[in-house]
A = this chain, B = another copy of it.
Amino acid sequence: MSSSAVSNGSATSGKSSSGATPGRLASVYSEVQTNRIKVALPLPSVLKNSFNVVDGPPSSAAGNPDEIAKLFPNVFGQPSAMLVPGDSANLASDRSLKIGVVLSGGQAPGGHNVISGIFDYLQDRTKGSTLYGFRGGPAGIMNCKYVELTTEFIYPYRNQGGFDMICSGRDKIETPEQFKQAEETALKLDLDGIVVIGGDDSNTNACLLAENFRGKNVKARVVGCPKTIDGDLKCKEVPTSFGFDTACKIYAEMIGNVMTDARSTGKYYHFVRLMGRAASHITLECALQTHPNITIIGEEVAAQKQTLKNVTDYITDIICKRAELGYNYGVILIPEGLIDFIPEVQQLIAELNEILAHDVVDEDGHWKKKLRSQSHQLFELLPRAIQEQLLLERDPHGNVQVAKIETEKMLIQMVETELRKRREEGTYNKEFSGQSHFFGYEGRCGLPSNFDSNYCYALGYAAGALLHSGKTGLISSVGNLGAPVEEWTVGGTALTSLMDVERRHGKFKPVIKKAIVELEGAPFKKFASVRNDWALHNRYISPGPVQFVGPTANDINHTLLLELGAQA
């Protein structure tokens, strides 16, 4: 196992760059990393030759089009753009471009390839162009903190995980002052365009920036790219967000290993919490890849208005049935956001926040009388450690920190309590031993799978093409993903067409609706049709580590495959 140094090169830093991030120029790489860098990325056919950008019909909004139209007077209703083979007549071929790119929000495998795609587009199609990387997320735009991206600087990041090329951030450009700052940066750098790589919020902000620039006659256009491992930014034209494929494969590798361990050892129930607060796509995808005994999908829990007791009983019942079959082990997948999907928990939290803000929590528990009956019952049902956590660990605003609750550990304790009851009643007579796992950080920065590597490169290359053709307020859209890369379709979708409004503080706020798990969608229906079989019989699958070469290297995830199949 030798390692090799990445070939050096010179980085050109923008004036206001802090220089705190030296990049990976002096990094030592593993052989797998080195081999990944060398892999040339395929492009969809339409991007390999000259093309024209063709507009579709005008677009509307996902909901409340009138309000969206008012919020985006300059960019609402734009048609989708589709790249088709052609003579490049509608591209500004006579001049070079100045483009900025920014990473926004949490990491997802493939971000570096989006940047590589934009860069290569500019190199290939618009000689003399410049690509600026804004450092540390949208704050980098506002503070004009950037690095000029060169061939040498970008090289070590090709097909590599992480967001460290320019790093990311969670700031938003939303106040008039912040828009003004962004405008100043655009003018100072003489930008023709900005690519925002982010999730639903970041793409909403990208569209606001596009609207703002156009309204003020600022030259810079803005195009978004769909990023999030959670998989909750997608629509018909944007079949998936990048990073979801890799993250799920990494989690599924670990789950498969734990399953084999469970079956070999024969005495543990492994409770695995997986990322995904607002949607359970990761949990569902990992279930489809590995066939666990029990999988909790938050959206179903919410739709059926289940209580925490219902969820506990569902798990406990299966454990008891398995015991009858001689299995005292199993694997259970739980989405990170489970608690947020349970209405009674939300109610309890709201009441606790109210009580904790005004009253003293006496040790004798008199304060509990202020809880409504159902909330009181729920509170008493919770394991002691969770009760204490709810009462003691509060955020700076004094609110209960729901996100800090380790749901998998809580469920283990609740199942233990229920099993103890059943043991006393004589309906269960086996041992139970729960093991908890949380797979999170391990998946956000893995080496991108071949799918994510190729998809991201195409997204970036397409973003370059959209800006080159003068488009703004679109999200880069690459489709037909079930086919070989050559046959992928390429275009852009009006960001306003993904939007609805939410009423906040008496005002309408535009939001790209998170795509949650559809209970009538193909992935969930597939899961629902087999889960009872998985519960009692062990159908474990071990996906193994992500392969970059060989017959399985280009496989795409089940969710995408099933959704494409249902569409076809």
List residues of chain A with CB under 8 Å of any chain B CB.
1, 3, 20, 27-33, 35-36, 107, 160-164, 167-168, 250, 253-254, 256-261, 263-266, 270, 289, 291, 326, 435, 437, 441-447, 539-552, 555-558, 561
Q: Once the chains are docked, how many angstroms separate the CA of A555 from the CA of B2?
A: 8
The answer to whether A33 and B264 touch across the interface, beta carbons within 8 angstroms, is: no
The answer to whether B543 and A32 touch across the interface, beta carbons within 8 angstroms, is: yes
With A162-B260, A442-B257: A31-B551 Cβ-Cβ less than 8 Å: yes
Interfacial chain B residues near A259, Cβ < 8 Å:
445
The answer to whether A545 and B32 touch across the interface, beta carbons within 8 angstroms, is: yes
Interfacial chain B residues near A435, Cβ < 8 Å:
441
The answer to whether B550 and A33 touch across the interface, beta carbons within 8 angstroms, is: no
Ordered by A's residue number, 7 sampled pairs between the chains whose C-beta atoms are within 8 Å are A28-B291, A33-B542, A36-B544, A161-B257, A162-B260, A261-B441, A435-B441
Interfacial chain B residues near A35, Cβ < 8 Å:
550-552
Copies in the complex: 2
The answer to whether B555 and A445 touch across the interface, beta carbons within 8 angstroms, is: no
Pick the residue among B263, B326, B551 that contacts A162 (CB under 8 A): B263
With A264-B445, A550-B550: A28-B539 Cβ-Cβ less than 8 Å: yes
Q: Once the chains are docked, how many angstroms separate the CA of A435 from the CA of B254?
A: 19
- Tell me which of A162, A326, A544 has the highest count of chain B C-beta atoms within 10 A of its own C-beta: A544
The answer to whether A550 and B549 touch across the interface, beta carbons within 8 angstroms, is: yes
The answer to whether B107 and A447 touch across the interface, beta carbons within 8 angstroms, is: no
The answer to whether A548 and B546 touch across the interface, beta carbons within 8 angstroms, is: no
Beyond the given A160-B260, A257-B443, please list 14 additional residue pairs across the A-B interface where CB-CB is below 8 A.
A3-B541, A28-B291, A32-B544, A32-B547, A33-B543, A35-B551, A36-B544, A162-B261, A253-B545, A257-B442, A435-B441, A545-B547, A549-B549, A550-B550
The answer to whether B549 and A261 touch across the interface, beta carbons within 8 angstroms, is: no
**Distance of A143 from chain B, by nearest CB (Å):** 16
The answer to whether A557 and B1 touch across the interface, beta carbons within 8 angstroms, is: yes
- In the complex, residue of chain B having the shortest beta-carbon distance to the beta carbon of A543: B30
The answer to whether B257 and A542 touch across the interface, beta carbons within 8 angstroms, is: no
The answer to whether B326 and A20 touch across the interface, beta carbons within 8 angstroms, is: yes
Q: Once the chains are docked, how many angstroms separate the CA of A428 from the CA of B292?
A: 47
Interfacial chain B residues near A552, Cβ < 8 Å:
30-32, 35
Q: Once the chains are docked, how many angstroms separate the CA of A546 from the CA of B546?
A: 8
Interfacial chain B residues near A266, Cβ < 8 Å:
167
- In the complex, residue of chain B having the shortest beta-carbon distance to the beta carbon of A106: B265
- In the complex, residue of chain B having the shortest beta-carbon distance to the beta carbon of A439: B442
**Distance of A256 from chain B, by nearest CB (Å):** 7
The answer to whether A1 and B107 touch across the interface, beta carbons within 8 angstroms, is: no
Pick the residue among B29, B161, B265 that contacts A107 (CB under 8 A): B265
Interfacial chain B residues near A1, Cβ < 8 Å:
289, 555-558, 561
Interfacial chain B residues near A250, Cβ < 8 Å:
257, 545
- In the complex, residue of chain B having the shortest beta-carbon distance to the beta carbon of A20: B326
The answer to whether A257 and B164 touch across the interface, beta carbons within 8 angstroms, is: no
Interfacial chain B residues near A557, Cβ < 8 Å:
1
The answer to whether A555 and B31 touch across the interface, beta carbons within 8 angstroms, is: yes
Q: Once the chains are docked, how many angstroms separate the CA of A551 from the CA of B35?
A: 8
Interfacial chain B residues near A289, Cβ < 8 Å:
1, 30
**Distance of A534 from chain B, by nearest CB (Å):** 10
**Distance of A170 from chain B, by nearest CB (Å):** 10
- In the complex, residue of chain B having the shortest beta-carbon distance to the beta carbon of A32: B544
The answer to whether A545 and B542 touch across the interface, beta carbons within 8 angstroms, is: no
Interfacial chain B residues near A160, Cβ < 8 Å:
260, 542
**Distance of A252 from chain B, by nearest CB (Å):** 9
**Distance of A4 from chain B, by nearest CB (Å):** 10
Pick the residue among B254, B445, B561 that contacts A260 (CB under 8 A): B445
**Distance of A314 from chain B, by nearest CB (Å):** 24
Q: Once the chains are docked, how many angstroms separate the CA of A27 from the CA of B537?
A: 10
**Distance of A161 from chain B, by nearest CB (Å):** 5
Q: Once the chains are docked, how many angstroms separate the CA of A64 from the CA of B419?
A: 52
**Distance of A345 from chain B, by nearest CB (Å):** 25
Interfacial chain B residues near A32, Cβ < 8 Å:
542-545, 547, 552
The answer to whether B264 and A163 touch across the interface, beta carbons within 8 angstroms, is: yes
The answer to whether A30 and B544 touch across the interface, beta carbons within 8 angstroms, is: yes
Interfacial chain B residues near A441, Cβ < 8 Å:
257-258, 261, 270, 435, 437
Interfacial chain B residues near A3, Cβ < 8 Å:
541
With A539-B28, A542-B30, A546-B545: A264-B447 Cβ-Cβ less than 8 Å: no
With A35-B552, A548-B550, A561-B1: A445-B543 Cβ-Cβ less than 8 Å: no
With A163-B264, A441-B435, A442-B257: A547-B548 Cβ-Cβ less than 8 Å: yes
Interfacial chain B residues near A542, Cβ < 8 Å:
29-30, 32-33, 160-161, 447
| The 4 A-B residue pairs with the shortest CB-CB distance in the complex, in nearest-first order | A545-B545, A32-B544, A162-B260, A260-B445
